Structure 1
């Protein structure tokens, strides 16, 4: 074979291989059950559970006047990879203090994702349980973590497993298998992460601080036991969980950009302003980060991983009730 032709042939095969590896393009940061059902073999499906045992249990349905309704979540999308949410956050020592529920280091997070079977060269659809806004926040936390470690080919499933089952789509109850993934984490991209110093600098500056907790936590009526002081960071605006998602038939979903804009006007939140989100431990803050960064397309949005747990451990100022 002519060497020139042989070289072109080899280059063509390489191009074909790379095109095949990324053949499917995610339509956005949120995909529908219908879209996923048509592309199941082309993506990693990462099922995030707070109760991993439900992954292999049959769902329970009730029927009333011919209408079938999901009563108890169980089962999973065929081919889904099980991710125990409890393993996605670890205690880390920062300035001599142990802070719980933090992002794992690069090698630990990579090992976790490989261990469940996440493959390189495929987009990843992250699937929440879907029955509550907190479920969506767990999936958003995994999305943020993967993005910090270099992955931009990500989406969340609208309505999660709950919505999938309610639509009568096929499900499986096979136990999760040990994975052999090759997904690779890059060095952390700090443009998505805020430190205590970043937050302190943002107070009174040009960066919007967004408290993602329910209103009673924001105003200081209550607090988590591990958080040192009730209240919020000075200058923070509140984007509570109940205004970030809505329920349709028992499955939670995100709102449209126009709906968020309307809500933001009431909350004095600027969708395009550089922002830092926080909560108690970085869980709820992930949902607010996802709304601002991914749905509203604000690239200058960071998440304060340590949140109020770290802020109050450092004895930084908090605004609360007298």
Structure 2
């Protein structure tokens, strides 16, 4: 049957307002140095160097992946304080603008570059990766081993700063990747497993950070220490088989979903990335408020086994 004139206009309108989805140069959560070197210069590629200052000096100035833009993890605005809780996801319009200012469009393939020196530092990349994902941008990956792997592979290094023309990135928020207080509360009494990605000492209540008000963890949580997900000596992230062994050793059932947390949602992103993106477990959420938000209310339960 031939479409009517009005029907044709409606069809055109639907096509014109459909969101632009990113080109997938890769569907892998991690790429190696050889892959990145091969794709440098691709018009859809945006390389973001998130390395923080070391002893007051910006490592980007001393050398970086050619064409990479500089957006230091601790300073660019990837996280913010919300209602006195540190490390939270910024308001959508705010973080959307920051990402666009790095030259990111909805059809960009993003590669994130951490230093790769240790698990916690690599967590900057996993947190930024999660940020892109929760904002609806799937074409994002991390350089496995970070800049340490890039230089170990004797790849080209540049000292020329890159200033990107602003992109037109528009977020499509995915609430299913983010857990809030209510969902964590519900998980305590359900079959959803809570994964505390902090150190054993913090998990059992022997130590805590200054942003957390009580020693201990959320009731029913199990511990998978963040540093088990990364091999700084290689350097590289743990593979799917290794992560499956971590899950098995912790006695975690994955059928009904997982929620990862830590102190401020930084270390939790390492566990989230490993469980969701590398191993491929379905329905893994990140609680970015983590113990800092959870313990801000003294009525919320906390358990310690020290």
Question: TM-score category by the smaller chain?
Answer: 0.7 to 0.9
Q: Deviations over 1:220-239 (max 9, x none)?
A: 11000121001111110111
For 2:267 and 2:137, how far apart are their aligned partners in 1?
A: 21
1:300 — aligned with what?
283
Alignment match of 1:123 (pick from 109, 117, 126): 109
Deviations 1:52-101 (A, max 9, x none): 711012xxxxxxxxxxxxxxxxx1100111112122111112xxxx2111
Q: 1:90 maps to what in 2?
A: 80
Give the TM-score, by structure 2 length.
0.86
Question: What is the aligned counterpart of 1:45 among 44, 47, 52?
Answer: 47
SS in 1 for 2:58: helix
Distance 1:231 1:280 in 2: 11
Length-normalised TM-score, structure 1:
0.82
The SS at the match of 1:85 is coil
Q: 1:83-138: CA deviations, max 9, x gaps? A: 12122111112xxxx21111011111011112222233121111111111112211
Uncovered stretches (5+) of structure 2, i.e. residues with no partner: 1-19
Shift of 1:262: 1.9
Extract unaligned runs of 5+ from structure 1.
1-18, 58-74
Cα RMSD over matched residues?
2.1
Instruction: Indicate whether 1:278 and 2:267 are aligned.
Output: no
Q: Which structure's residues are more often strand, by fraction?
A: 1
Q: How does 1:143-158 map to 2 (within 5 A)?
A: 143-158=129-144
Q: Tell me whether 1:108 sits opposite 2:110 in the alignment.
A: no
Note if contact 1:194-1:302 (Cα within 8 Å) is conserved in structure 2: yes
- Conserved in 2, the CA contact under 8 Å of 1:192 and 1:301? yes
CA 1:171–1:271: 2 relative to 1, 3 Å? farther
User: What secondary structure, in the 3-state scheme, does the structure 2 residue paired with 1:156 have?
Assistant: strand
CA distance in 1, matches of 2:78, 2:85: 14
